[in-house]
Amino acid sequence: MESIQGVLSWLGTTLRLMSYNKAGFIGFLMTSAILLLCLLGPLWIPLDTKTKLDKIYQPPSAEHWMGTDHQGRDIFSQIVHGGKDVIYVAAVAALLSTLIAVTFGTVSAFAGGVTDSLIMGVTDVILTIPQFPLLAVLAAFVKLDNLTLLGLFLGVLSWPALLRAVRSQALSLKERDFVEAARALDLGTGHIVFRELVPNMMTYIVISFTLALTAAVYTQVGLVLLGLVPVSSSNWGVMISLAWTQGAIFFRDAMWRIMMPILAIALFQLSVITMTRSLELAFNPRLRTMA
Amino acid sequence: MAPILEVRNLTRQFGKGRETVTAVDAISFAIEPGETVCLVGESGCGKSTTGRMVAGLLEATAGEVLFEGKNIRQLDSNAYRRYRQTVQIIHQDPYSSLNPTQTVRQILTAPLLRHRKVKNSAAAEARVLELLEIVDLTPASDVIAKYPHQLSGGQRQRVAVARALTVDPKFIVADEAVSMVDVSIRVSILTMLARLKREFDVTFLFITHDLALAKYFAWEGRITVMYLGRIVEDGPTQRLITDPRHPYTQALLSAVPEADPALAQHKRQIELRGAEIPSLLALPPGCSFHPRCPYVVPGQCDRTVPALEPVEVGGRVACPVRKQDAVSLLV
Amino acid sequence: MVQSTVGRPAGDRHPDKPPLSLQNVHVSYATRRGKVQAVRNVSVDLHAGESLALIGESGSGKSTLGLAIVRLLPETARIEPGVITYRRKDREVDVLKLSRSEMRAFRWSDCAMVFQAALNAFNPVLKVWAQALDTAQAHGWHDKPAIRRRLVELLEFVQLDPKRVIDAYPHELSGGMRQRVLLALALLLNPQVLILDEPTTALDIITQRTIIKLLRQLKQEDHFTMIFISHDLAIAAELADRVATMYAGRIVELGTSDDIFYRPRHPYTLGLIRAVPTVTGGFEQLFSIPGSPPDLVKLPSGCKFHPRCTFATERCQQEEPELELVGAEHSAACWNWREVQAELQRNPLHRGALNVLDGIGSEVEGS
């Protein structure tokens, strides 16, 4: 019971802190709405698969909020169903790259010496390989039809920039007196990294995660659009890709079909990016205890 | 009595090649158990670097730190762990020395549990409350759940002291421990430290740039004055304050602003030949104070580094020219 | 030093008309936690050629008051109510009513502020000469050779080698040199009043002494009117004619330097003096003030010092005392100042220096 209350009050404080930044809070509300719609929406809104020749390329209306496609199917239902996979892949990628970056970035900063040089060497090498062409080449060898696998691939390739940033954060924190005091008290490397350094980088890590998330969305959609990733299900990237290959940009009437998934992606990215402003507030320990 | 801590020819350099800076240059001193020693000097004199080497947080480039007669770099792992806990440090800036994401409880419990100073977390809680009482943070039950930013500078510094006490240290390096604390509260922290010295047999190395504080804290102890990485004078506090022998110590004492208008009017002004401290990158040859010293003897002071030699009034002075001459600091 | 050029013409002094008068000055900040009353009801006259020290701990309002005079407070601060009157020759202005451009002119040519010599007091990409030129030209002075002559003269006055300093970037100078450059720049446009915020804090002891000597020289030879803001009582003892003790945004005691250091009447001033050691002389027992400085958002009732005061009575919890005259030029805001006086008769201040000076400080209470 007590722990439930604790969680509730933690959530309450978090929401209050997030609401201090109006734009950030709107971003948070929009992100939540999009997530809810994409994750739970499919339970209520069936995917429209029936060809209706009398309704081809209709503009938005009360019946079809986002208009209809080349077979007269409802675009809104496709958008609702197409978000889940995009977000899932991006989340896997962002989670993995943040995990790698935080772990090795902190270790690199803290250990110094050979370990540091080694980690930074590998990082720099990967950083210099252009990600997109590499993925394109990889896609030729590996069949990336498994969403988790795709997410992991994206994650494995996108951590270097984040690692460098985490390392420099950790380096500056390492100089703080409380870290030296922890050394004087012989509290151990594990304690210093996970109790002293990481909690002080939390804001930064959370924001980095959201930025990695948005980057993964773009890469993914790009790969789908170029047809490098054979994703079978319908998702925002596939929607654009299909519209594109079927020449939607040449028909004025087809505008909605290509614009809606693009808008969905843009809106999601915008919401997430704006939300980081509020996350900064929510994960600041100072503000948290003052509230 | 055998010294609890001794340093021999302790040296520390920073940087590489032509940019090498010798922050501490072959200094030697010993501290007896229960003694209070103040290390004073201006910024860049090497006092904090010395403190961090003594506390085992910075490796010496040359020379050795002996703790209870043994070189700390040659201790086996058990002995090193014991040394690590016996010697603690209190930092200057209480805003940077406490982790902002931890409560006072978390800050104090971690070392207690890690080093098995208590059996379980209930005992840890009791011990934390006790430690908070010891450093005069009362009511302890109010303070324990607070985050550092909810405390004043003085209160934070007390938490830092309590944290050092978790491992029952016998030797504490206090590096400018009160210089960032409000004037009205400084004394109470010094008094608290002096009480720890008596009650828990803690030996203090008190590092400060403030001679008035050094005098107050180490009235029965000793003061060591450093200048550009070397010890220029040391001795019993009462002798050093009233009868300084090294021209640098004299200049320092005469320059200290005094919180007393009559005294401020009647202090002797010692004119130095140069106002700026030389850069550590380009140390003058011989005695590093000679370019500013009013008593410089050309051909002697600029050639050989003066040795730190005992004087009959007590302590050691690194100035063969002036070590016999007393100077009045008032006019 | 060349007095006639560094200092002001002798006729500039008006002994009967204070160059700066503050009346009921209040400063507050709006914060998320509520209104912070940083300065409350401060009234003080600054006489020509006088130096006044504002002392107090962090949060006492001393720096805020200094910044309010030159209106350099952050946007969230409000100065009201309050009147700040500045007089020079026959001109009399209400500082708080000046327009933005009038204020800029006032800030350098009438009342200059010298900040603590941190690097951020300078524009990091401008050499000393360019900073001086910018300042002069912003005030309509375009005669480059004359500006250069003036700068060289001032740099020499602050004992810097103009050749070495004039084309140096701020980061190439040591802390003590930067403080002296700031002082020289402040004097560039010949102000009447200088406000110095922690002029020696963070400087080494011997450098502090150099600055103190310079400021004494400015005071004695050129009769500048100066305000020193410092948490360090020694700066007040070394430099001030009069001292104002501030606590929780108010002046709680105001008197001559001797009044404050030897005959304090406010328990807070007494507490501060008993907390600060001197170097010269024998051992002196020190005492700290219990408790911590107040939360400016939630100030205590009555006298703001009562929770920390050993003299406090019931009245102190209810009514806030105003400054009242306790000596010829000495006022204190304490209901129990007579008790403080009696306490000093019983337990005289044991300044370590007294044994040494033997009689010099004999005006001290009770001895």
Confidence of residue B125 (pLDDT cuts 50, 70, 90): very high
What does the DSSP assignment read for B149-170?
Answer: GGS-HHHHHHHHHHHHHTT--S
Confidence of residue C350 (pLDDT cuts 50, 70, 90): low
Confidence of residue A290 (pLDDT cuts 50, 70, 90): low
Q: Indicate whether A6 pLDDT > 90.
A: no
Return d(Cα C141, Cα C120) in angstroms, integer: 25
Q: Does B331 touch chain C (CB under 8 A)?
A: no
pLDDT at C4: 37
Of B153, B187, B261, the CB nearest to C257: B261
Contact residues, chain A, for B160 at CB < 8 Å: 181
Which subunits count as partners of chain A given 3+ CB pairs below 8 Å? B
Hey, where are the domains in chain B? 5-100+167-242, 245-331
Residues 101-120 on C with a CB inside 8 Å of B are none
pLDDT at C7: 46
Instruction: Kindly report whether the peptide bond that precedes residue B139 is cis, defined as omega within 30 degrees of 0.
Output: yes
Contact residues, chain B, for A177 at CB < 8 Å: 91-93, 96-97
The answer to whether A185 contacts B163, with C-beta atoms less than 8 Å apart, is yes
To the nearest whole Å, the CA of C208 is away from the closest chain B CA by 8
Residues C139-171: pLDDT tens digits? 888 888 888 998 998 888 888 888 888 888 888
Q: Which residue of C201, C280, C354, C365 to mutate against B (max B Cβ within 10 Å)?
A: C280
pLDDT at C12: 44
The answer to whether A180 contacts B85, with C-beta atoms less than 8 Å apart, is no
Which range (B57-61, B233-237, C25-29, C132-136) has the least confidence? C132-136
Which subunits count as partners of chain B given 3+ CB pairs below 8 Å? A, C
At A38, give phi and psi (nearest 5°). -80, -30
| pTM of the predicted protein model | 0.83
pLDDT at C367: 42
Residues A186-198: pLDDT tens digits? 998 888 888 888 8
CB B205 within 8 A of CB B31: yes
- Please give the residue that has the higher pLDDT: either C20 or A58: C20
Residues A82-120: pLDDT tens digits? 888 888 889 999 999 999 998 899 889 888 889 999 999
pLDDT at C8: 43
**List of E strands, chain B:** 5-14, 21-31, 36-40, 62-67, 70-71, 87-90, 171-175, 203-208, 222-227, 230-236, 309-310, 316-317
The answer to whether C280 contacts B262, with C-beta atoms less than 8 Å apart, is no
Of B154, B188, B275, the CB nearest to C210: B275
Alpha helices in C233-326 (DSSP H): 233-239, 257-262, 267-275, 314-318
Q: ∠ CA(C358), CA(C361), CA(C364), 5° rounding?
A: 125
Contact residues, chain B, for A289 at CB < 8 Å: 146-147, 149-150
Q: Indicate whether A264 pLDDT > 60.
A: yes
Confidence of residue C364 (pLDDT cuts 50, 70, 90): low
Q: Which residues, other chains included, contact A152 with Cβ-Cβ below 8 Å and sequence gap of 6+?
A: A92, A93, A96
Cα B216 to Cα B51, B175, B183, B208, B263: the distances in Å are 20, 16, 14, 12, 17
Q: Which residue of C171, C180, C212, C279 to mutate against B (max B Cβ within 10 Å)?
A: C279
To the nearest whole Å, the CA of B46 is away from the closest chain C CA by 14
Question: Reduced to 3 states, what is the DSSP secondary structure of residue A230?
Answer: coil
The answer to whether C237 contacts B330, with C-beta atoms less than 8 Å apart, is no
CATH class of B5-100+167-242: alpha beta
Which range (A57-61, B157-161, B165-169, C294-298) has the least confidence? A57-61
Domain C12-240: homologous superfamily in CATH: P-loop containing nucleotide triphosphate hydrolases (3.40.50.300)
Residues A18-32: pLDDT tens digits? 888 888 899 999 999
Q: Indicate whether B329 pLDDT > 60.
A: yes
pLDDT at B90: 94
Q: ∠ CA(A169), CA(A172), CA(A174), 5° rounding?
A: 105
pLDDT at A222: 83
Hey, where are the domains in chain C? 12-240, 264-357
**A126 φ/ψ sector (left φ>0, alpha ψ -120 to 50, else beta):** alpha
Report which listed range, C9-23, C104-118, C249-263, is most confident: C249-263
> Over chain C, what is the mean pLDDT?
84
Confidence of residue C11 (pLDDT cuts 50, 70, 90): very low
Confidence of residue B181 (pLDDT cuts 50, 70, 90): confident
pLDDT at B270: 87
Return d(Cα B31, Cα C28) in angstroms, integer: 52
Bridge partner residues of B230 (DSSP): B227
Of A186, A196, A286, the CB nearest to B81: A186
Average pLDDT of the residues in B253-269: 89
Average pLDDT of the residues in C341-352: 80
Q: Indicate whether C2 pLDDT > 50.
A: no
Q: Indicate whether B37 pLDDT > 90.
A: yes
Confidence of residue C365 (pLDDT cuts 50, 70, 90): low
Return d(Cα A52, Cα A40) in angstroms, integer: 26
At B313, give phi and psi (nearest 5°). -75, -10
Residues of chain C with pLDDT > 90, as a percent, come to 30
Q: Indicate whether B131 pLDDT > 90.
A: yes
Which range (B235-244, B321-330, C318-327) has the least confidence? B321-330
Q: Which residue of B43, B155, B184 to mutate against C (max C Cβ within 10 Å)?
A: B184
Q: Indicate whether A280 pLDDT > 90.
A: no
Angle at which helix A75-111 crosses helix A113-128, to 10 degrees, equals 150
pLDDT at B301: 92
Contact residues, chain C, for B219 at CB < 8 Å: 283
Of A180, A184, A285, the CB nearest to B100: A285
pLDDT at C205: 87
Contact residues, chain B, for A188 at CB < 8 Å: 114
To the nearest whole Å, the CA of B12 is away from the closest chain C CA by 22
Cα A72 to Cα A55, C73, C173, C273: the distances in Å are 4, 64, 75, 88
Q: ∠ CA(B107), CA(B113), CA(B116), 5° rounding?
A: 140
Cα B258 to Cα B153, B219, B264: the distances in Å are 24, 18, 5
Give the residue from chain B lying closest to C285, CA to CA.
Answer: B216
Residues B268-320: pLDDT tens digits? 888 888 777 888 888 899 999 999 999 999 989 999 999 999 999 999 999 99
Return d(Cα A62, Cα A50) in angstroms, integer: 19
> Over chain A, what is the mean pLDDT?
83
To the nearest whole Å, the CA of C47 is away from the closest chain B CA by 20
Residues C194-227: pLDDT tens digits? 999 988 887 888 888 888 988 898 888 777 899 9
Return d(Cα C23, Cα C244) in angstroms, integer: 15
Residues of chain C with pLDDT > 70, as a percent, come to 90
Residues A133-158: pLDDT tens digits? 887 787 778 777 778 888 888 888 88
Q: Which residues, other chains included, contact A271 with Cβ-Cβ below 8 Å and sequence gap of 6+?
A: A27, A28, A30, A31, A34
Q: Indicate whether A252 pLDDT > 80.
A: no
Give the residue from chain B lying closest to C231, CA to CA.
Answer: B183
Residues of chain A with pLDDT > 90, as a percent, come to 14
> Over chain B, what is the mean pLDDT?
91
Q: Indicate whether C340 pLDDT > 80.
A: yes
The answer as to CATH 1.10.3720.10 being correct for domain A42-275 is yes
Q: Indicate whether B170 pLDDT > 90.
A: yes
Hey, where are the domains in chain A? 42-275
With an 8 Å Cβ cutoff, the interface of chain A facing chain B consists of: 176-178, 180-181, 183-188, 191, 195-196, 199-200, 202, 285-286, 289-290
